C-alpha cells in the first residue's frame, strides 16, 4: 500500500487525504491544532457553538460539484446542509437592496460563460491540449463594462467579500464565486466540524491516521525528494507528501536549497487576501426571531473592491452576518456570527505578541472595534442589543495565529490579473514527491479548496482518474 503524509489537517489536507484513501492510499495527517479542520473547526464559547471559517458555501445543489464529491466519497447522506439565501443590505440604513439573479441577464450570462471555461469547476476531465483561461480581464472591468441593471451589477460586485476581491482580481475568480452563489448557497445544519470529522473518518477507515497537536517543525530533503517530516515528538516518512499549510510556512520549514531562490522570492513578496474581525454573538433564549437568510451589508457608496479600506474610526465598511437556530426554541436565533473585513495593518503593531498574552492596549483597541462592529450588526438586526447574552471576537491576529496564514489572510494568497504569475502555484513542486493543496493553490473556500484537492490527488493517482469517476 502506498503511503501519503499530509501536513495540515484543514479542509485541503482532509479532502485530499479522503480522496487518496478512496484510491487505496494509506494517509497520515499531521495537524498542529488540538482539533482537526482548520477553517472547518467549530468551537464552544459561553455555552454557544460557533463555526470559525465556513459559514456559507455553494456546490450542494442537487447536482452541485460538492454534492457529487460527497457522493463519490460515500458521505452524501451524512452531510447535513440547508439552503441559505444571501440578502444584500445597505449597512447605514438596514434597507434591503433588491436585485434578481434568477433571470438571464447579460452580466450573469457572461459570468457563467467564464466559469464554464474552468474544467475543474465544471467537474470535467481536463483535455490534454487544455489552455488555461485568460485571467488578464479583471472582475471590475467585466462588471463596469457590461450593460446591465445597476442593482445587479452592485450585487455582483459585493460578492468580492467572499474571496477578498480587489480591483485587480481576475474575472475568472469572480465568476467562479458568483456562479457558485447564484446556483444556491448553503450552510451546515450543525457546525462545520462535522464535515471535517466525516473526511477524517474516511481516512481512518482506510487504515490511515489523523494526528492532532502534531505541528510540523521541519521537512527534510534528499536530492530532489522529501525524505522525512519532523514534529516535536516524531519523524514521519511516506512515499508521497502533501502540503496543506500556508505555502509561506512550507518554505520556512524546508532546507534553503529545496526550492529555487526565485520561487522563494516570488512567494515571499506575493500579496495576501484581506483579513477580518469576526464577532461571535450568543443570544438570550427566545429573544430574536431566527431567519435562515444571511446578510451582506455594505456602507453607502463604498468601493466594493476595497471593502477594508477605511480609517479605524470609520471602520467597518462592510459586514457579512449569519444566524443559527436555537434547537430548543425553534423559530428563534441562538447565535449570530458577523465577519467584517479588516486591514491587517490595524494590528501590525502587536504582531509580535501571542494569543492570551497580548498587551492591554490591544484589548482596549479590540473592545472599541467590537463596539463599532456591533453597531453595524444592530442596523441589520434592530432588536439585537437587548438580545445579546455573550460576545467574543477574533481579530486578524487570531486568524494569523490559528491558521498560520501570513497577515491573517482569510483566503490565502491574493490573485491578481496584473501579475498573474506572482501567486500562481501548481499542485506539483520541484520536489518530486511533494504536492501542494489548500487555498493558496487555485481556489479557496469549501467548494474551491475541495476542487483543488481533486487536482492534488490526481497529481498522485493520475490525471482525470478521479474526475472520470465523478462524472460516472
The residues that touch ligand FAD, with contacts defined as CB under 6 A, are 7-13, 30-33, 38-39, 53-57, 215-216, 244-245, 249, 276, 278, 339, 399, 403-404, 410-411, 438-439, 444-446, 449
Bridge partners, 221 (sequence order): 226
Which residue number, 156 or 451, has a Cβ lying nearer to ligand FAD? 451
Beta strands 388-394; 235-236: pairing state: unpaired
**Alpha-carbon gap, residue 172 to 178, rounded angstroms:** 10
Query: Closest distance between ligand FAD and the C-beta of residue 429, in Å?
Result: 16
- Give the ranges where 49-95 is alpha helix by DSSP (H): 65-73
Which residue number, 11 or 202, has a Cβ lying nearer to ligand FAD? 11
| ∠ Cα 59 62 64 (to 5°) | 25
Say how far residue 392 (Cα) sits from the centre of its chain: 21
Query: Closest distance between ligand FAD and the C-beta of residue 147, in Å?
Result: 31
Which residue number, 58 or 105, has a Cβ lying nearer to ligand FAD? 58
Query: Closest distance between ligand FAD and the C-beta of residue 448, in Å?
Result: 7
Query: Closest distance between ligand FAD and the C-beta of residue 296, in Å?
Result: 11
**Alpha-carbon gap, residue 216 to 440, rounded angstroms:** 18
Query: Closest distance between ligand FAD and the C-beta of residue 13, in Å?
Result: 6
**Alpha-carbon gap, residue 415 to 168, rounded angstroms:** 8
Which residue number, 196 or 431, has a Cβ lying nearer to ligand FAD? 196
Distant-in-sequence contacts of 110-115, Cβ < 8 A, 24+ apart: 110/142, 110/146, 110/175, 111/142, 111/156, 111/171, 111/174, 111/175, 111/178, 111/179, 111/182, 112/175, 112/179, 114/142, 114/171, 114/172, 114/175, 115/172, 115/175, 115/176, 115/178, 115/179
Which residue number, 6 or 156, has a Cβ lying nearer to ligand FAD? 6
Q: Rounded to 5 degrees, what are φ and ψ at 280?
A: -115, 105
Alpha carbon separation from 204 to 24, 52, 200, 249 (Å, rounded): 12, 24, 6, 26
Which residue number, 218 or 329, has a Cβ lying nearer to ligand FAD? 218
Query: Closest distance between ligand FAD and the C-beta of residue 30, in Å?
Result: 5
Give just the sign of the alpha carbon dihedral 13, 18, 20, 26.
positive
Which residue number, 238 or 245, has a Cβ lying nearer to ligand FAD? 245
Which residue number, 379 or 398, has a Cβ lying nearer to ligand FAD? 398
Which residue number, 111 or 338, has a Cβ lying nearer to ligand FAD? 338
Residue 381: name the closest of 317, 431, 429, 338 by CA. Answer: 338
Query: Closest distance between ligand FAD and the C-beta of residue 322, in Å?
Result: 8
Query: Closest distance between ligand FAD and the C-beta of residue 182, in Å?
Result: 15
Report the residue number whose CB is nearest to ligand FAD. 10
Cell of 48: 454557544
Alpha carbon separation from 349 to 146, 274, 275, 344, 396 (Å, rounded): 42, 17, 15, 10, 12
Say how many CA atoms lie within 13 Å of 305 toward its Cβ. 16
Query: Closest distance between ligand FAD and the C-beta of residue 193, in Å?
Result: 12
Amino acid at each position: 500500500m502506498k503511503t501519503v503524509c499530509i501536513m495540515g489537517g484543514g479542509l485541503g489536507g482532509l479532502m485530499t487525504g479522503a480522496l487518496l484513501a478512496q484510491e487505496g492510499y494509506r494517509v497520515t495527517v499531521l495537524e498542529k491544532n488540538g482539533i482537526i479542520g482548520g477553517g472547518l473547526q467549530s468551537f464552544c464559547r459561553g455555552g454557544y457553538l460557533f463555526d470559525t471559517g465556513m459559514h456559507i458555501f455553494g456546490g450542494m445543489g442537487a447536482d452541485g460539484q460538492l454534492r457529487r464529491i460527497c457522493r463519490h466519497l460515500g458521505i452524501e447522506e451524512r452531510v447535513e446542509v440547508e439552503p441559505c439565501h444571501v440578502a444584500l443590505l445597505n449597512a447605514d440604513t438596514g434597507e434591503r437592496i433588491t436585485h434578481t439573479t434568477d433571470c438571464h441577464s447579460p452580466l450573469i450570462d457572461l459570468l457563467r460563460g467564464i466559469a464554464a471555461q474552468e474544467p475543474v469547476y465544471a467537474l470535467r476531465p481536463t483535455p490534454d491540449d487544455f489552455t488555461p483561461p485568460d485571467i488578464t480581464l479583471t472582475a471590475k472591468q467585466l462588471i463596469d463594462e457590461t450593460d446591465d441593471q445597476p442593482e445587479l451589477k452592485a450585487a455582483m460586485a459585493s460578492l468580492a467579500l467572499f474571496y477578498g476581491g480587489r480591483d485587480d482580481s481576475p474575472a475568472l475568480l469572480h465568476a467562479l464565486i458568483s456562479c457558485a452563489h447564484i446556483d444556491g448557497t448553503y450552510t451546515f445544519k450543525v457546525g462545520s466540524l462535522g464535515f471535517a470529522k466525516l473526511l477524517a473518518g474516511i481516512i481512518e477507515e482506510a487504515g490511515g491516521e489523523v494526528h492532532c497537536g502534531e505541528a510540523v517543525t521541519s521537512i527534510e530533503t534528499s536530492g530532489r525528494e522529501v525524505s522525512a517530516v519532523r514534529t516535536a515528538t516524531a519523524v514521519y516518512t511516506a512515499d508521497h507528501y502533501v502540503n496543506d499549510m500556508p505555502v509561506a510556512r512550507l518554505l520556512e520549514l524546508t532546507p534553503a536549497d529545496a526550492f529555487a531562490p526565485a520561487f522563494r522570492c516570488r512567494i515571499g513578496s506575493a500579496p495576501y487576501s484581506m483579513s477580518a474581525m469576526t464577532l461571535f454573538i450568543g443570544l438570550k433564549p427566545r429573544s430574536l426571531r431566527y431567519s435562515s437568510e444571511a446578510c451582506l451589508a455594505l456602507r453607502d457608496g463604498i468601493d466594493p473592491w476595497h471593502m477594508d479600506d477605511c480609517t479605524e474610526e470609520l471602520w467597518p465598511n462592510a459586514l457579512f452576518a449569519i444566524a443559527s437556530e436555537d434547537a430548543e426554541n425553534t423559530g428563534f436565533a441562538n447565535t449570530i456570527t458577523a465577519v467584517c473585513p479588516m486591514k491587517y495593518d490595524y494590528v501590525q503593531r502587536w504582531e509580535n505578541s501571542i494569543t492570551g498574552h497580548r498587551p492591554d492596549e490591544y484589548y482596549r483597541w479590540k473592545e472599541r472595534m467590537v463596539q463599532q462592529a456591533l453597531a453595524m450588526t444592530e442596523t441589520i438586526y434592530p432588536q439585537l442589543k437587548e438580545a445579546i447574552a455573550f460576545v467574543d471576537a477574533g481579530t486578524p491576529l487570531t486568524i494569523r495565529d490559528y491558521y498560520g496564514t501570513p497577515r491573517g489572510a482569510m483566503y490565502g494568497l491574493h490573485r491578481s490579473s496584473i501579475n498573474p504569475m506572482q501567486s500562481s502555484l501548481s499542485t506539483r513542486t520541484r520536489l518530486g514527491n511533494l504536492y501542494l493543496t489548500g487555498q493558496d493553490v487555485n481556489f479557496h473556500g469549501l467548494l474551491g479548496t475541495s476542487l483543488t484537492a481533486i487536482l492534488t490527488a490526481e497529481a498522485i493517482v493520475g490525471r482525470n482518474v478521479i474526475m472520470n469517476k465523478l462524472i460516472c
